[in-house]
Amino acid sequence: MDGFRFNDLERMTFVGIYFSAVSCAFSEAVEDIEVTFIPEDGQAFVALLEQILVSQQSGSGQTHEGQLVHRFKNLDGDEEAAFLVCERLGGIKMTLVSGVEGTDNLSGSELGGMSVCISREDTRTLTDAFSSCTSPTN
C-alpha cells in the first residue's frame, strides 16, 4: 500500500493516508481505520476528491449535510461503509466510516469512522497518486 503523511488541519498533527487500488486507511498516533473495496469504489473515491477540488460543491453528486458521499461494501468485515468529503478550514475533510447499515447518520466517529482534514494542495497530491493506482489501465 502506498502512503503519505500530511498535516491534519483540525488536529494540528501528522496523519497517514494509505491506499491501493482496493484499500484505503487513515492513521494517526492513537487512531486508525482501514477499509477494503472493489476497484470501482476506489475510482469513485478519486471522483469525489476531484469533484470537491474542482467545485464548491455545485450540487452534483450524492450529498449528506453538505458532504459528498460514496457508500460501498467494506470487504474486510463484510459491512456497509461510506467515504465522505467536504470543504473545511481552507482544506478538504475526508471521512471513512464503517458499519453504516440502515442509517443515514454519517457523521463519522460514533460509527467507527475517522476523519482527516488536509490542505487542498495535499488533497491534490493524494488524488493524483490515488488516481494513478486506481485507473482502469492498471
- Domain spans in the chain, listed from the N-terminal domain onward: 2-134
pTM for the structure as a whole: 0.83
Fold of 2-134: Secreted effector protein pipB2 fold (3.30.2450)
pLDDT tens sequence across 55-103 = 654 444 444 456 899 999 999 888 889 999 999 878 999 999 887 776 5
Question: Long-range contacts of range 69-76, CB-CB < 8 Å, 24 or more positions apart?
Answer: 69/106, 70/41, 70/44, 70/45, 71/100, 72/35, 72/37, 72/38, 72/41, 72/44, 73/37, 73/38, 74/35, 74/36, 74/37, 74/98, 75/22, 75/36, 75/37, 75/38, 76/23, 76/34, 76/35, 76/36
Mean pLDDT of 108-125: 82
